Structure 1
Amino acid sequence: MRRWRWWLLLCVCLAGLLWGGSRPGQAQSDLPWVTPFTPQRVLWVAPQGTGPGTLAEPASLAYVVKSARPGDLVWLLPGTYAGGEALYMLRDGTAEAPIVYRACPAAHVVLDGGVAFASAYTWFWGLDMTNVTDPGEVVGFIQTPDGPVKGGSALVNVKVPGTRLINNVVHDAVQSQSGIGGWDGGPGQVYYGNIVYGNGQNPETDRAPHGTYTQNNYAADGYKYFVHNIILDHAALCGEKCYNFHAHTQGAGTVSGYYLFQNVMANGRLAIGGANANLSPSDHHVVLQNYFYDMGKIQLGFRKPWQGLFAENYVARNSSATLTIWGAGETAFTPPGATIVRDNTFVYQDNWHYLDLYSMTTTGLLGSAPLRPGDLIDDNYYGEDVRVKYWVAEQTLSLKSLAAWTAQSQQDGNVLGFDGHSVVGPNPTASVVFALPNAYEPGRGHLAIYNWAGAAETLVDLAPILPPGSAFGLYDPQNLFGEPVLTGTFDGEPLAVPTPAEFQSYVVLPAVPDQAHVCDPDYARPGLAGYLVWPLLALAGSAVWAVARWLGGRG
């Protein structure tokens, strides 16, 4: 009887551990931009691979992208993978079983030339996406009815459902290409943890590249998620024509349903809105807990009203903001809800917080409509007094204080009046730090440091990212695969971090990355989930032996 119980328990434990449990290192979350992934098959590829796809005999990327199937996890070994046919993503995954291409832990994997996502439910994770071999050639791709062709407007073009770009670096696109082109084409697009900088290296052309250029149709596809990205330094390439983030259309496209959360953006503008020919408004937006520095202008709405939530953002060194909101009296569309701007911090805004406010309907002129009673702009902090250029109810006014702005907006139809409980106070003199953990990789995170103290070093608490005792490296986002700025072991106390500039962003990486063993030939086992099965068998054996002894002792 005891032997029967022992073998039954062994089977139950193995089944639970191997198929019912979560996978090591894979995030478990209810957040819509984080989905657990259980591979059904594991493959390895190498730049010169010719094998069947084991770790000992890796395949080529060109072979795998033509033969991949739903549920595949493809580990990319270090090296440079040339652009061209190998980077046409043509094999579909599914929502439950995507195809995942991931860089080996701590490896520098370069995709040289551009990527076109013509396949649904494909993830790219941890890759260096750039153009290094022919900086004079346009090497992006676009999808046509006859297949992908060269000439895309971005280094990475996405126009299919279920695409996820996770913890990649997208940089130095050429010939007026944007870094990421995230277009209509289906639900479920997620852009998480990416570093985007320095794209569009030909300012002599008329085209204006952006860090990210994107459109979305919320009614058809739901939210498009941009979360935990660092987007930097596009204004240096072509001035005000270039944007860090440009959700925009002046044609038949739609700009609705953008969800921006905990992104770090610096030195380039942000715009969400369009002058689309179909008159549709720009609505259902969420811009929450983002960290902005020297953006020039943040523009919400463009010749059509904007609706959404702009909340808990930290905004510094911006010259101005533009907000085009719904006015009362809309007849062409049913307004989707209130516009809410709350609990934001605006500091060091070039002597005052300067806002252009327009109220309109989709068919009316800018500034023609009175305000809606239920919109909310309140509980914000301003480091300088508010100056508002105010186009509302066919008035053009210049409001030169917070009190005047509140009174005038209440007079023109808003029940509470805008910013009635907001505060004007001093600009900070102590440094402000935000430490943002990565939801996909334990021990990885981003830092946004506002060095208002002007100190050579700033104390940073890494506890939101690392547990005490963790070895780590601190990296410049624009040199992620180079030498770390700082290394050490987090002891639970604030750490002195170099801050040579007024604003500094960093990437924190663990010294031993998540799933570090999967590309180690002395550890990993080729085949179906080999890198998981053997450790789990050992764990299962220990657990079964302990419980079996307990059962045996009970007789």
Structure 2
Amino acid sequence: MVHAALAVRLCVLCVLLIPLGILGNDLYVSPDGTPLGPGTMAQPYDLATALSGQAGQAGDTVWLSGGNYVIGHIDTKIEGAPGQPITFRQMPGERARVDGSLTFYSSAGNVVLRDFELYRSDTNRLSAQIGAGFDPTDIKIIPGVASYVPNMSFINLVVHDQTRHGFYISEYATNNLVYGCLVYNNGWASPDNAEGHNFYVQSNRGTREITDNMAFNASGANFQIYENATNMRLVGITLDGNVAFNAGAIQAVRTYRDWIVGVDAPAVGADGIILKNNMGYYAAGSGALEQVQIGREGVNGSVALLNNYLPQGLVMNNWTIAAVAGNLFAAQSSSYIVNLNQTQVPLATAWNDNSYSRSGAGGDFLGNSTEYGFYDWQGDTGYDSHSTYSVAKLTGTKVFVRPNRYEAGRANIIVYNWDKLSDVTVDVSSTLAPGAAYEVRNAQDFFAPPVLSGVFDGQPLDLPMTGLKVAVPNGPLLTPPPTGPTFNVFILLPGSVRLQAAAVDGQAQISWPTNSGKWVLQFTESLSPNSAWTDDLSTPVVVGGQYVVTNSISQGARFYRLRAAP
């Protein structure tokens, strides 16, 4: 049997599979799998069985083949071991769509989920109840991923249209990582309320890392980093390289902020909070509250705001220690650029090297209810001696390219196009090598055809800033207008060169187009993270516009990919 998987993601361009058996640490599931398995490609498990903990063990990798998996809600009991997580991954080049939600509670954790889509097809997201607060009973409100266990990693997932939060990371979920995920269109609404944050993160102990995610078009906040339970704290949370916009934009009942960090009584306070390299955007008329809020009612310990690009206002409340440096804050509405409230505790801070602007209306700085112009702010506080300030609209372009930690050739691209150009050039040479195939997708409509694709020639890419659409929420919620041409977000992905496979007279023939560039065929016996790829030294034969390599079919699985030739 020969199986071809196209358009691989994980530092490969295309993978082709020739399985006759299975290695011990690779299991397979498919939409038509069964509880009996035994987890080979020919006899895969169903996903519910694999998630139940009845199949696999620490160190195994469970591969999701393409198709739609209807799982409803699963309280999964799967668990790995320290240094030996169980990993659930989408098969390279296939689209695995998981219709449902997952809670990790009765588990020791040590699980990795990556590369697949998690959504809900339930369109019943409008409650008819009034006065039900955040707990309506006539609709099912469930987070897409709820983690209550340690040592979890959620990598390069697409989580959307969940009926409550996209991710809920609880106070018990120590050492949790959410990385490179695309999270949008989550939440619900009622006649007098609405909720559903793309990220809701709590932390009473340990650490959480939330890095390089895109969060937008929620019913609630995009990043709700918050606690209000008795004697609870909010500690050890790092947000790095995330982008957020259009909080509350899929409902018209109440407003939310993109960024909320802090505690309310009777919680104790926040401490050890880091926000660095994050990006935001305020779309006028979206209904979102413009300001980034760092600190709420409680008295807090330390916070660091470093190198963030946030063309929004900033509200900070009652921190004991703060590092605020290298940021851009630019109020776009009538709010203050900075509103600093230190009425409960004095602030020890290193606050400098920032850029401030406002477009016209509104104030400059507010400190404990006293209004300041920029120069009075500098003189009275001692802050910002080397910072800049202007009363002007932002101009030019600002582009961020953030390569993906777990997938070579992948990057988040964030474009600020203050001059409203029809397209913007973007240098991706830090991510792509010349000769590499690529595609660029509009993150706000990720599953639409790519906006650009080709073979990278080393020159900047011209990305369109107009004519881009927004994914429509599942159910009777609002679809926000496009943010272009002023602002757009894209995801750069390794492109696919189509490998084909055929079994001919007991041998495997692997082929790819001769007009697709220069490539070297490689193979491996396993797709486990530590497996090595080996160059196939066979000389390809040209047949009908295809390079063809013929190999004997060995026992076990063999995986092929193409790498760019030097």
> Equivalent residue for 1:59?
45
CA distance in 2: counterparts of 1:436 and 1:516, whole angstroms: 32
Mapped pair 1:469 → 2:447: no
- Unaligned ranges ≥5, structure 2: 1-8, 13-22, 128-138, 248-257, 283-288, 467-483, 502-507, 511-521, 538-566
Matched, 1:406 2:378: yes
Inter-CA distance 378–533: structure 2 relative to 1 (3 Å threshold): closer
Instruction: Summarize deviations over 1:388-407 as a string: whole Å, max 9, x none.
Output: 2221xxxx3122x1111122
Match 1:507 to one of 466, 488, 491: 491
The correspondence for 1:355, drawn from 338, 342, 345, is 338
C-alpha change, 1:532 and 1:205, in structure 2 (3 Å) is: same
Q: Structure 2 counterpart of 1:70, which letter?
A: A
Aligned counterpart for 1:178 among listed residues 165, 175, 184:
165
Work out the CA distance in 1 between the residues paired with 2:113 and 2:536. Answer: 31
The residue aligned with 1:377 is 351
Tell me whether 1:126 sits opposite 2:126 in the alignment.
no
Measured after TM superposition, the shift of residue 207 of structure 1 is: 4.8
Q: 1:528 to 1:376 in 2, by over 3 A?
A: closer
1:449 equivalent to 2:398? Answer: no
Picking from 260, 263, 267, the partner of 2:242 is: 263
Note if contact 1:45-1:77 (Cα within 8 Å) is conserved in structure 2: yes
The alignment partner of 2:166 has SS state of strand
Question: Residue 388 of structure 1 aligns with which residue?
Answer: 365
**Matches of 2:409 and 2:234, distance apart in 1:** 35
Q: Describe how 1:418-437 pairs up with structure 2 within 5 A.
A: 418-425=383-390, 426-437=392-403
> Kindly tell me: are residues 68 and 525 of structure 1, through their superposed partners in 2, closer, same or farther at Cα, counting changes over 3 Å?
farther
After the TM superposition, which residues 226-245 of structure 1 pair with which residues of structure 2 at under 5 Å, given as runs?
A: 226-234=210-218, 237=219, 242-245=220-223
Deviation at 1:304, TM superposition (A): 1.4
Letter in 2 for 1:63: T
Q: Does the C-alpha gap of structure 1 residues 529 and 427 become closer, same or farther in structure 2, counting only changes over 3 Å?
A: closer
Structure number with greater CO (CA < 8 Å, separation at least 6) is 2
Give runs of aligned pairs for residues 1-16 of structure 1, distance below 5 A: none
Q: Which amino acid aligns with 2:227?
A: T
Mapped partners of 1:170, 1:354: distance in 2 = 33
One-letter code of the match for 1:420?
A: S
Q: Give, in angstroms, the shift of residue 535 of structure 1.
A: 5.2
- Aligned equivalent of 1:254: 233
For 1:190 and 1:492, locate their aligned partners in 2 and report how far apart those are by CA, in whole Å. 33
**1:267 and 1:296 in contact (8 A); partners too:** no
| Greater fraction helix | 1
Match of 1:107 in 2: 94
Tell me the distance in 1 between the aligned counterparts of 2:386 and 2:487. 29
Q: Tell whether the 8 Å contact from 1:54 to 1:526 is kept in structure 2 after alignment.
A: no
Aligned-partner SS, 1:49? strand
CA distance in 1, matches of 2:310, 2:170: 27
Stretches of structure 1 that go unaligned for 5 or more consecutive residues are 1-23, 28-38, 139-149, 328-337, 360-366, 410-416, 540-555
Identity %: 26
Q: Provide the aligned length of Structure 1 versus Structure 2.
A: 445
Rounded to whole Å, the distance in 1 between the matches of 2:183 and 2:119 is: 10
Query: Which residue does the alignment assign to 1:43?
Result: 27
Q: Which amino acid aligns with 1:405?
A: W
Structure 1 equivalent of residue 315 of structure 2? 322
Whole-Å Cα distance in 2 between the matches of residues 205 and 106 of structure 1? 44
Equivalent runs, 1:95-174 vs 2, <5 Å: 95-118=82-105, 119=107, 120-133=109-122, 135=124, 153-174=142-163
Deviation digits for residues 109-133 of structure 1 (CA, Å, limit 9, x no counterpart) = 1111211113311111011111115
User: Residue 259 of structure 1: SS of its match in structure 2?
Assistant: strand
Whole-angstrom distance in 2 between the partners of 1:530 and 1:112: 25
CA distance in 1, matches of 2:269, 2:499: 45
Normalised to the residue count of structure 1, the TM-score between the two structures is 0.73
My pick for the range that moved more, 476-485 or 183-192, is 476-485
CA distance in 1, matches of 2:237, 2:123: 34
In structure 1, C-alpha distance between the alignment counterparts of 2:126 and 2:337, rounded to whole Å: 41
Shift in alpha-carbon separation, 1:533–1:101, aligned structure 2, 3 A = closer
Is the partner of 2:49 in helix, strand or coil? helix
Tell whether the 8 Å contact from 1:40 to 1:528 is kept in structure 2 after alignment.
no
1:297 matched to 2:269? The reply is no
Q: Which of the residues 322, 327, 346 maps onto 1:344?
A: 327
CA distance in 2 between counterparts of 1:458 and 1:171 reads: 28
Taking structure 1 as reference, are residues 48 and 153 closer, same or farther at Cα in structure 2, changes over 3 Å only? closer
Shifted more, 463-472 versus 249-258: the winner is 249-258
State the distance in 2 between where 1:43 and 1:527 align: 14
| Residue 42 of structure 1: how far off its partner (Å) | 0.6
Aligned equivalent of 2:370: 397
Question: Partners of 2:371 and 2:24 in 1: how far apart?
Answer: 62
Maintained 8 Å contact 1:105/1:516 = no
Q: Is the 8 A contact 2:295 2:319 kept in 1?
A: no
Q: For residues 68-79 of structure 1, what are the structure 2 equivalents within 5 Å?
A: 68-79=56-67
TM-score by length of 2: 0.72
**1:196 equivalent in alignment to 2:190:** no
Amino acid of the structure 2 residue aligned with 1:381: S
Q: Give CA deviations for 1:300-345 in whole Å, capped at 9, x if unaligned.
A: 11111342110101112x2x32101335xxxxxxxxxx31011111
C-alpha separation in 2, matches of 1:298 and 1:436: 22
Would you say the 8 A contact 1:116–1:156 is kept in 2?
yes
* Counterparts in 2 of 1:522 and 1:535: CA distance versus 1, 3 Å: farther
Cα distance in 2 between the residues matched to 1:489 and 1:26: 15
Q: CA deviation at 1:480?
A: 2.4
What secondary structure does 2:93 align onto? coil
Kept in 1, the 8 Å contact 2:425–2:460? The answer is yes
| Structure 1 residues 522 and 191, CA gap change in structure 2 (3 angstroms) | farther
- Alpha-carbon deviation of 1:522? 8.1
Deviation of 1:420 (Å): 2.0
CA displacement at 1:197 relative to structure 2: 0.7
**Partner residue, 2:251:** none
